[in-house]
């Protein structure tokens, strides 16, 4: 019983972080219908960057985190400015391929700068575990879930009420019409990449605090893909619902199936879910269907 509860709590918490990272995909898809295939590498590079600032340079925690955010914003800006903007009005497939290229470039950059394969961030949250009923959960999980939820709330409000947020959603609907309204689409795209990199960075730091920094972080990005696909490519709510589902499935499946099927099943589960969802519900749980007036 205690074991089950523990799987559930940690599964949901990790799932929330997946959901946060998945927002980095949904944001870009929503405003420019480009699939951001560099998601995992964005998570990877920002986690290593935080490690570099905190451990190698030895900065205090808050400055290190602040610098990570600044780094993420800069990264997002430069990806959009230097690789995607020259390709505006080109076939969408070229743009998607470019994000793949950016991903591999970043991965290469990381292994060039930080050849060590494993590292750990210093503890940020108190070490004492929390007792939830019979289960014992370390505090990192709860903080990760809380921070993800808070960031998700902030972004949702931004998109619902802020002028720029509304303009970003409008861009997703009709790029030409939005320009006729005087909205600079280039800054919309650039902003969506900045947001995407920031959520990937925060998600990356949260995941690294739980599981350490390895090259496996790229897979965290891949797991976020399954979140996006399950939730519907462009839906925020979809991400936030699908995240915990994937996290739970991964944890419960990993916990109870490993003795039966063998290790490794945990990492396959999200991808099994992708395939099932694609077959049954191609728009995902909350995806925007094309509006057809009848």
Partner 1 sequence: MLKLNNIEVVYLNVVRVLHGISLTVEDGSVVALLGANGAGKTTTLKAISGLLKVEEGDVTDGSIEWEGRRIDHSSAQEIGKLGIVQALEGRRVFGHLTTEENLLVGAHNRKERHIIHQDLEMVYHYFPRLKALRHNIAGYLSGGEQQMLVTGRAMMSAPKLMMLDEPSLGLAPMLVEEIYDIIKRFNDERHTSVLLVEQNVRIALNIAHSGYVMENGRVVLDGSADFLRNNEDVKEFYMGLSAVGVKKSYRAVKHYKRRKRWL
- Judged by the rule CB under 8 A, the positions of this chain that interact with partner 1 are 89, 163, 166-167, 169-170, 172-174, 176-184, 288, 291, 293
CB nearer partner 1, residue 256 or residue 283:
283
Query: Smallest gap, in angstroms, from Cβ of residue 286 to partner 1?
Result: 12
Shortest Cβ 90–partner 1 spacing (Å): 11
Closer CB to partner 1, 56 or 90, in the complex:
90
Give the DSSP letter of residue 114. Answer: -
Strand, coil or helix: what is 213?
Answer: strand
Cβ(55)–Cβ(122) under 8 Å? Answer: yes
Residue 117: CB atoms within 10 A of its CB come to 10
* In the complex, minimum distance from the CB of residue 148 to partner 1, in angstroms, rounded to a whole number: 25
Least distance from partner 1 to the Cβ atom of residue 289, Å:
10
What sign does the CA torsion over 172, 175, 181, 182 have? Answer: positive
Helices 217-231 & 265-280 angle (0-180, nearest 10): 30
**CB of 93 or CB of 291, closer to partner 1:** 291
Nearer Cβ to partner 1 (176/279): 176
**Distance between CA 114 and CA 175 in Å, rounded?**
40
Indicate the residue among 89 and 279 with the shorter CB distance to partner 1: 89
| Nearer CB in complex with partner 1: 1/294 | 294
Q: What are phi and psi of 143, to 5 degrees?
A: -60, -45
Q: At its nearest, how many Å lie between partner 1 and the CB of residue 235?
A: 11
Q: Six-digit token pair at 285?
A: 């749980």
Please state, as a whole number, how many other Cβ atoms lie within 10 Å of the Cβ of residue 91: 9
Residue 131: C-alpha distances to residues 9, 64, 206 (Å):
11, 30, 21
Cα(first)–Cα(last) distance of the chain, in Å?
52
Hey, is 293 helix, strand or coil? coil
Q: Are 14 and 141 in contact (CB under 8 A)?
A: yes
Element of type H or E holding 131: strand 130-132
Task: Report the nearest approach of partner 1 to the CB of residue 170 (Å).
Answer: 4
CB of 31 to partner 1, least distance (A): 12
Kindly tell me which of 8 and 178 has the beta carbon lying closer to partner 1: 178
């Amino acid at each position: 019983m205690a074991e089950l509860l523990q799987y559930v709590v940690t599964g949901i918490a990790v799932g929330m972080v997946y959901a946060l990272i998945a927002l980095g995909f949904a944001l870009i898809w929503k405003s420019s219908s480009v699939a951001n295939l560099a998601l995992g590498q964005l998570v990877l590079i920002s986690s290593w960057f935080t490690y570099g600032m905190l451990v190698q340079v030895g900065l205090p925690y808050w400055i290190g985190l602040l610098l990570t955010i600044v780094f993420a914003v800069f990264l997002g800006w430069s990806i959009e400015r230097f690789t995607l903007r020259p390709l505006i009005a080109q076939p969408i497939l070229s743009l998607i391929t470019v994000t793949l290229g950016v991903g591999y470039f970043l991965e290469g950059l990381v292994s060039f700068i930080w050849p060590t394969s494993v590292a750990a961030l210093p503890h940020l949250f108190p070490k004492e575990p929390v007792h939830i009923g019979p289960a014992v959960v370390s505090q990192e999980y709860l903080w990760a879930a809380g921070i993800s939820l808070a960031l998700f709330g902030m972004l949702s409000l931004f998109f619902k009420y802020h002028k720029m947020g509304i303009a970003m959603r409008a861009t997703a609907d009709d790029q030409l019409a939005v320009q006729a309204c005087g909205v600079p689409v280039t800054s919309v795209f650039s902003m969506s990449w900045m947001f995407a990199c920031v959520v990937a960075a925060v998600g990356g730091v949260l995941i690294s605090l739980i599981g350490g920094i390895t090259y496996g972080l790229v897979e965290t990005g891949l797991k976020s893909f399954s979140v996006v696909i399950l939730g519907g490519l462009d839906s925020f709510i979809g991400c936030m619902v699908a995240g915990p589902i994937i996290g739970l499935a991964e944890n419960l499946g990993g916990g109870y199936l490993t003795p039966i099927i063998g290790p490794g099943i945990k990492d396959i589960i999200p991808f099994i879910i992708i395939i099932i969802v694609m077959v049954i519900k191609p728009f995902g749980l909350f995806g925007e269907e094309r509006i057809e007036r009848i």
